[in-house]
Amino acid sequence: MSGSDRSSVARRANAELGAACFLDVETTGFSPRTDEVVELAMVLFEFDYNAGEITRVVDTYCGLREPSVPIHPGAARVHGLTLDNLRGKQLDDSRVQSILSGSDFLIAHNSSFDKPFVCRLFRQALQIPWACSCKDIRWHMYGYGSARLQELIRAHNIRTTQTHRAMDDVSDAIELLKCHSPSGHTFFAELLQAVQADGRISR
């Protein structure tokens, strides 16, 4: 039984627990119509609905993918991946689908970018609610000058040296969501409230 399967069993036994997947993609460029995913990172975690707190990591996956189109120089400058790094690489579809199946909702930082890339590869992701840790949290109201992930993690002293690779971004974003906002609740609690308030999830 995979970690995500065991998590599903535990959640059925405890209605206060939920599961969400934070994911991030690196791509050949910026257009989901013509560009492709070259790296996908996913972390499935359990959370407490009542407390609005992340309780534990259930499963993780990170994979590389050889694209059928060139990598745009601007994208290569961001993530540093080259066609030589990616030759012969494929995503593990069964691992990705297992994590998606175990998720009550999906999260990305600027999900309007990640969502179309992921859904193009995995149609299953179209049927799962999405949240955005960039837009579903009131960063500017709290006085942050930017909602960019790298700026926010620097402001919270989460990482002093930063790479822009998918799993680093996901791990840092989860640590950010565990932090407490000036309201006294975790940033994850605010994101959870946002997706409940507009009906993206019904719990």
Task: For residues 194 and 50, give the distance between their C-alpha atoms in angstroms, rounded to a whole number.
Answer: 14
Task: For residues 87 and 99, give the distance between their C-alpha atoms in angstroms, rounded to a whole number.
Answer: 25
Lookup: tokens for 141: 């109201």
φ/ψ bin of 71: left (φ > 0), alpha (ψ from -120 to 50), beta (otherwise): beta
- Which residues of the chain carry a pLDDT beneath 70? 1-13, 160-163
Q: What is the DSSP letter of 181?
A: P
The residue count of the chain comes to: 203
81 CA to centre of own chain = 20
User: Domains of the chain, with CATH numbers?
Assistant: 3-197 (3.30.420.10)
Lookup: tokens for 33: 């119509």
Structure confidence at residue 168 (pLDDT): 93
φ/ψ bin of 80: left (φ > 0), alpha (ψ from -120 to 50), beta (otherwise): left
Determine phi and psi for 59, rounding to 5 degrees.
-155, 150
Structure confidence at residue 162 (pLDDT): 59
Structure confidence at residue 8 (pLDDT): 59
Structure confidence at residue 144 (pLDDT): 95
Strand, helix or coil for residue 86: helix
Structure confidence at residue 12 (pLDDT): 47
Beta strands in 31-103 (DSSP E): 37-48, 53-64
The answer to whether 156 and 180 are in contact (CB under 8 A) is: no
Q: What is each CA distance from 90 to 30, 65, 188, in whole angstroms?
A: 20, 5, 32
Pick the closest to residue 188 from 106, 110, 133, 126 (CA basis): 133
pTM, entire model: 0.92
